[in-house]
Chains A and B, each alone.
Chain A
Amino acid sequence: MSSKATILAGIRAAKPGPRPLPTLPPDPPPAPEEWEEAFRTVLAASKTTFVEAGELAAYVAATGAETVVSTLPGLEGNLDVTAIDDPLQLAGVDLAILPARIGVAENGALWVSEAECVHRVLPFITQHLILVLDRELLVGTMHQAYRRVQIDATGFGVWIAGPSKTADIEQSLVIGAHGARSLVVCLR
């Protein structure tokens, strides 16, 4: 018998009787202002900063980043990520600016899929990351978020809720473990 058959037979012999699936909570009533406030508060707590939409271009210029990748329509970088074959070539990216698909008020998570980042490693390998989200794409809870996003629409998608961090040395918070050293969010 193959291991698959052995495992499945073992499960069938051992599993408990049927248990129903519970009903999940409904979407919370729309509260755009409260959601935005909660979204900003929780992201600020995870060391994320904000830039206003009108100031985004100036902010990017002022960072002095040498290698900039942008997939945000209307904002040009100086490295075309679609022209790159090997993700290793992104090792020198200083700043990436990507649109996000959805934002979650309760935890500050922003959905970025392969469609936005082109190379999956981009939001991680870049030294700094800017995510741009339309205000109307904010939702209240993760339950609502998973109803809005089709997680298998692309081969890869990720919730990003701050800059890369670790507390593995004596529980001291350090920002910039392996992924982006900073996250800036622009709501527009």
Chain B
Amino acid sequence: MTHAKRAADFLRNESRANWHDESLWHVRSKRDTIIAGIPEWEALRQLGSDIKDNVLSNLDTYLEAFERQATANGVTVHWAADAAEHNRIVHGILERHAVDRIVKSKSMLTEECHLNTYLEEQGIEVVDTDLGERIIQLRKEPPSHIVMPAIHLKKEEIGQLFHEQLGTDAGASDPQYLTEAARQHLREKFLAAKAAITGVNFAIAETGGIVVCTNEGNADMGVHLAPVQIHCMGIEKVIPLAEHLGVFTRLLGRSATGQPITIYTSHHHRPKPGGEMHVVIVDNGRTKQLGREDFRNSLKCIRCGACMNTCPIYRRSGGHSYDHTIPGPIGSILSPGIDLKKHGDLAFASTLCGSCSDVCPVKIDIHDQLYKWRQIVSEEGHLENGKRLPLLGAGAVLSRDGAYNFMGKAARVALKLAPRALVYNRFNPWGETRELPEVPGESFKEWYANQRKDHEQ
């Protein structure tokens, strides 16, 4: 099934689609308001982008420096070439400590590796502790947004879910009440967990530490109570110096949710007394992406989600329509590199308006990359016939002056005379949800020629 088909399903419920659109736009607006308070915002984005460019060109040495420093700090560093190895490493750590229940804070990497499913198959209870993540975990759904995983759900649906699973009052849907219920439910889990897993926002080569950002405090509740802490990071998360955190902490919260900074920005450098700290560094296709000159910039992403909040397609199709761990514009340039056949259609889930590139805090050229992926999808022969054949025809017509003039005239006549059923039918998917504009009497070319004639006279 394609993104377009799933988006069409999403749009069937018009009021809900509008509500989703407005919720996301609200977050985008909050971002705009807060960056207005930072006059040097554009220079800050450039700094973020420049630092990340430097990271990509020194990724090997920074990772080695990080490992050296972290090891000196008493941290155990692991390397995983792919998702399967990552999952085996994490399970190995848990097995050594005979851990059968863990708490986990948000980590798109572990989503990408399907760690939860893997651990559950090994008999380990995994509890996601970010409220949004817990909600979708209880619903057995993937996240629909990387920062707001349950943004697609209404409070009544969450109320019903909590009623069924956590025993809250039937019909209760007040967010304050539901959050309190989750707080109580998850406190028990925090107190009982023997290991905690988090993602990593930034890893610092200079100091060998990692930074985790949350608003809820769930990552810290897990990590500081459990004897074993495990932090999973993609290779691209490393930054050179501690002072670079000044740039990224200024960019991240503002871009993500319009906050000046996340409530908690936690710096972990050494295991707690008597505890163990592990960092798992994961490749899983990232070095391949690094080698693609046109697409390597996608690895600069700091996972703020701003490109989703602004995207007219994401807002009106929902995160699940992308069928990939990371949805939205950034997901659409990351996923074709992982599986072109499966995710190639995501390159077309865009109007190429460029808003994603404009809001990106590290200036990734997202819409240019979407355009480039389209070329590759086409060259590799993954374009569906519904797109391929009309494009072939259009290419033939647009490249020949005479054919273009003739087809324009023919279309103007035909569209006037043709019965509706001949124009709007299953061979015209474009027309399923759109109306053609009124057919003009003459082409622009003809109009222009007439104007000149009038002018000369």
Among residues of A, the one whose C-beta sits closest to the C-beta of B271 is: A155
Given the contacts A3-B81, A142-B246, A169-B178, A8 and B64 also touching, CB distance less than 8 Å? yes
CB 8 Å contact bits of B203-225 with A (1 = contact, 0 = none): 01001110000011110110111
CB distance from A102 to the nearest CB of B (A): 12
Specify the chain A residue showing the minimal Cβ separation from B260: A107
Give A116 Cβ to nearest chain B Cβ, in Å.
14
Name the residue on B nearest A172 (C-beta): B175
Contact partners of B43 in chain A: CB under 8 A = 25
Chief secondary structure at chain B's binding surface: helix
B261 contacts chain A at the CB level, 8 A cutoff: yes
When A143-B243, A157-B267, A178-B217 are in contact, do A151 and B130 touch as well, CB less than 8 Å? Answer: no
- Least distance between B269 CB and chain A CB atoms (Å): 5
User: Using Cβ atoms and an 8 Å threshold, which residues of chain A touch B209?
Assistant: 151-152
Known interface pairs A3-B80, A15-B290; A174-B224 also in contact (CB < 8 Å) = no
Residues of B19-46 whose CB lies within 8 A of A: 23, 26-27, 38, 40, 43, 46
Let me know if A58 is at the binding interface, CB within 8 A: no
Stretch from A49-57, A68-76, A158-166 at the B interface: A158-166
B168 to nearest A CB, angstroms? 12
In contact, A14 and B246 (Cβ under 8 angstroms): no
Judge whether A24 is part of the interface by a CB distance below 8 angstroms.
yes
**Cβ contacts A169-188/B at 8 Å (1 or 0 each):** 11110101111100000000
Q: Which of B59, B179, B204, B266 contacts A156 (CB 8 A)?
A: B266
Inter-chain contacts of A106 with B (CB < 8 A): 38, 250, 260
Smallest beta-carbon distance B202→chain A, Å: 11
- Segment at the interface with A among B150-158, B315-323, B340-348, B393-401: B150-158
Which of the 9-residue segments A29-37, A93-101, A119-127 touches chain B? A119-127
Q: Quick check: B216 and A177 within 8 Å, CB to CB?
A: yes
Determine if A155 and B246 form an interchain contact, defined as CB atoms under 8 angstroms apart: no
Indicate if the CB atoms of A91 and B191 lie closer than 8 Å: yes
Check if A168 sits within 8 Å of B130, measured CB to CB. Answer: yes
A152-B208, A174-B179 given; A108·B260 CB < 8 A: yes
Contact of B148 among A8, A120, A142, A168 (CB under 8 A): A168
Interface residue stretch chosen among B117-125, B280-288, B424-432: B280-288
Which chain B residues (115-136) contact chain A, with CB distance < 8 Å? 129-132, 135
Q: Which among B49-57, B329-337, B412-420 touches the partner chain?
A: B49-57
CA distance A32 to B301 in the complex (A): 35
Inter-chain contact B264/A160, CB cutoff 8 Å: yes
Contact B218 A177 (CB under 8 A): yes
Check A124–B50 contact: CB distance below 8 A: no
Given contacts A19-B53, A120-B272, A146-B246, contact A161 B291 (CB under 8 A): no
A78 lies within 8 A of chain B by Cβ: no
Q: Nearest A residue to B293 by beta-carbon distance?
A: A16
Residue of A with least CB distance to B206: A152
Size of the B side of the interface (Cβ < 8 Å), in residues, is 96
Given contacts A15-B56, A174-B179, contact A7 B81 (CB under 8 A): yes
For the complex formed, measure the closest distance between the CB of B236 and the CB atoms of chain A, giving whole angstroms. 10
> What's the minimum C-beta distance from B101 to chain A, rounded to whole angstroms?
15
Contacts of A164 in B (CB 8 A): 215-217, 263-264
Interchain CB contact under 8 A, A14 and B221: no
Q: Is B235 an interface residue (CB 8 A)?
A: yes
Q: Which residues of A contact B456 (CB under 8 A)?
A: none
How many angstroms from the CA of A150 to the CA of B206 in the assembled complex?
12
- Chain B residues within 8 Å of A178, by CB: 129, 183, 186-187, 190, 216-218, 221
Number of chain A residues close to chain B: CB under 8 A: 71
CB distance from A109 to the nearest CB of B (A): 5
Q: Is A64 an interface residue (CB 8 A)?
A: no
CB neighbours of A20 from chain B (8 A): 50, 54
Flag if A22 contacts B50 (CB, 8 Å).
yes
Q: Which residues of A contact B180 (CB under 8 A)?
A: 176
- Which chain B residues border A12 with CB–CB below 8 Å? 60
Q: A61 contacts the other chain (Cβ, under 8 Å)?
A: no
Residues of B contacting A120 in the complex (Cβ-Cβ under 8 angstroms)? 220, 223-224, 272
List which A138-152 residues lie within 8 A (CB) of chain B.
141-147, 150-152
Which residues of chain A come closer than 8 Å to B40, judged between CB atoms? Answer: 25
14 more A-B residue pairs beyond the given contacts A25-B40, A178-B187, with a C-beta to C-beta distance below 8 A? A10-B290, A24-B247, A106-B38, A120-B272, A121-B220, A155-B269, A156-B270, A158-B267, A161-B264, A164-B263, A165-B215, A165-B263, A169-B178, A177-B215
Bound-state CA distance A31–B3 (Å) is 53
Asked if B271 and A169 sit within 8 Å, CB to CB, the answer is no
Could you list 28 A-B pairs, sorted by A, with CB under 8 Å? A2-B79, A3-B283, A7-B81, A7-B283, A8-B60, A11-B63, A15-B59, A17-B57, A18-B58, A21-B50, A21-B54, A24-B246, A91-B187, A104-B261, A107-B260, A121-B225, A142-B249, A143-B243, A151-B267, A157-B266, A160-B263, A161-B264, A165-B215, A169-B135, A170-B154, A172-B155, A174-B175, A178-B221
Q: Are A151 and B207 in contact (CB under 8 A)?
A: yes
List A contacts of B176 (CB < 8 A).
Answer: 172, 174
Chain B residues with CB below 8 A from A160, complex form: 263-264
Contact with B along A75-90 (1 / 0, CB 8 A): 0000000000001100
Are the CB atoms of B243 and A15 closer together than 8 Å? Answer: no
